[in-house]
Amino acid sequence: MLKEAAFYQSISDDKLLCQLCPAECKLAEGQVGICGCRFNRQGKLYTDNYGEAVTLAIDPIEKKPLYHFHPTTNILSTGANGCNLGCLHCQNWTISQSKTHTTYIEPAALVEAAGKHGSIGVAFTYTEPIIWYEYIMDTAPLLHEAGYKVVLVTNGYINAEPLSHLLEHIDAANIDLKGMRPEFYKKVCKGKLEPVLETIRTVAASHVHLELTNLLIPGKNDSDEDITRLVEFVASISDRIPLHLSAYHPQYKLNIEATPADTMLRAFSIAQSKLKHVFLGNVALTDGSDTACASCGHKLIRRSGYRTEIVGLDGSKCSECGAETGIVR
């Protein structure tokens, strides 16, 4: 469904500047932005993805991944076609980098679906929710009115002003921090690093519950120096932000070996030296699954695959030492 886009301005007689994300596409009549959904039609910027969902599924919240936000619950998950980055390794490239079949779900219908099957709300995920901005801005307040949670799983590639409005309507976010070198973002992800770092700083300073994901790609972003820089950046904000280290498997345009287990364990060790909550994903290892109290080390949450068991929490406090854990329940 067509909708006039938010955040654009006219920069010449026939060109519009889209100001939603740092790509800042300049679009002449008929031109489509990098995200594949925003275009200039007769001097107005439109998006053609409003309410157009590629899928609707119920997932464990741990699958987003969010480990410290309503653990053990399910969440209705949905997403649109397209993305404002173009990662060579995108595991959802069939829906993020090309147009596929979609179904229109009006905001009220998404709210109605949100509470089914024990879901706590809606996660905007799979592709990039930022390019679904108008739909999320219309739908999230309705979800909140009905008592549901709103979650973003995002690349964090958004400009400051739209982000500030979006955050008013979000409860939790997992942001993908893909690496710490600008040239990695440019060559592998087709974007810029600094705006993502700025988004992370902004979200961390807001009311929104924040977790981060880093996919380790052999030879691309997995050196000790890469991992140390990333972990130091996170620790400079807070050593309590959960960090999910995820193993890469060959996808889309990147066909190199999957991340070996010893790389995951090396990264885990470096990250644990600076951060309190580090997790390993996409890999068959028993390390990096459970949550322990950052104050006394008591086990709080036990996980095996997507089976999650709360074993040491009293509300959001450690049942052993009484420390506040930052786990939202």
* Nearest in space to 216 (alpha carbons), one of 186, 239, 188, 190: 188
The residue assigned the tokens 């991944």 is: 65
Question: What's the min distance (Å) between Cβ of 84 and ligand SF4?
Answer: 4
Of 33 and 71, CB closest to ligand SF4: 33
The answer to whether residue 78 forms part of the interface with ligand SF4 (CB under 6 A) is no
The 155-174 site mask, x for binding ligand SF4 (CB under 6 A), equals x-------------------
Among 49, 74, 84, 213, binds ligand SF4 (CB under 6 A): 84
φ, ψ at 201 (rounded to 5°): -60, -45
CA distance 144 to 154: 20
Question: What's the min distance (Å) between Cβ of 193 and ligand SF4?
Answer: 13
- β-bridge partners, 246: 215, 281
Question: What's the min distance (Å) between Cβ of 178 and ligand SF4?
Answer: 8
CA distance 203 to 210: 7
Q: How many residues bind ligand SF4, per CB under 6 A?
A: 23
Sheet strands side by side (includes 149-154): 55-60, 74-79, 119-124, 149-154, 172-176, 209-216, 243-247, 278-281
The answer to whether residue 232 forms part of the interface with ligand SF4 (CB under 6 A) is no
Phi-psi region of 202 (alpha: psi -120 to 50; beta: other; left: phi over 0): alpha
- β-bridge partners, 247: 216
Burial of 167-193, coded b for 16+ CB within 10 Å and e otherwise, reads bebbbbbbbbbbbbbeebbeebbebeb
Q: What is the DSSP letter of 12?
A: S
The answer to whether residue 131 forms part of the interface with ligand SF4 (CB under 6 A) is yes
292-321 residues near ligand SF4, rule: CB under 6 A? none
Among 83, 175, 188, 300, binds ligand SF4 (CB under 6 A): 83
Name the 3-class secondary structure at 4.
strand
Among 96, 139, 174, 221, binds ligand SF4 (CB under 6 A): 96
The answer to whether residue 35 forms part of the interface with ligand SF4 (CB under 6 A) is yes
Cβ(70)–Cβ(328) below 8 Å: yes
Cis status of the peptide bond prior to 22, with omega within 30 of 0: no
Question: What's the min distance (Å) between Cβ of 200 and ligand SF4?
Answer: 14
Q: Which residue is nearest to ligand SF4 (CB)?
A: 33
Among 53, 80, 90, 231, binds ligand SF4 (CB under 6 A): 90
The answer to whether residue 38 forms part of the interface with ligand SF4 (CB under 6 A) is yes
The 139-158 site mask, x for binding ligand SF4 (CB under 6 A), equals ----------------x---
Of 152 and 293, CB closest to ligand SF4: 152
Cβ(178)–Cβ(188) below 8 Å: yes
CA distance 200 to 163: 11
Among 33, 51, 107, 195, binds ligand SF4 (CB under 6 A): 33
The answer to whether residue 20 forms part of the interface with ligand SF4 (CB under 6 A) is yes
Cβ(241)–Cβ(210) below 8 Å: yes
Of 23 and 110, CB closest to ligand SF4: 23
Of 174 and 308, CB closest to ligand SF4: 174
Report the interface residues with ligand SF4, using CB under 6 A: 18, 20-21, 23-25, 33-35, 38, 83-87, 90, 92, 96, 127-128, 131, 155, 189
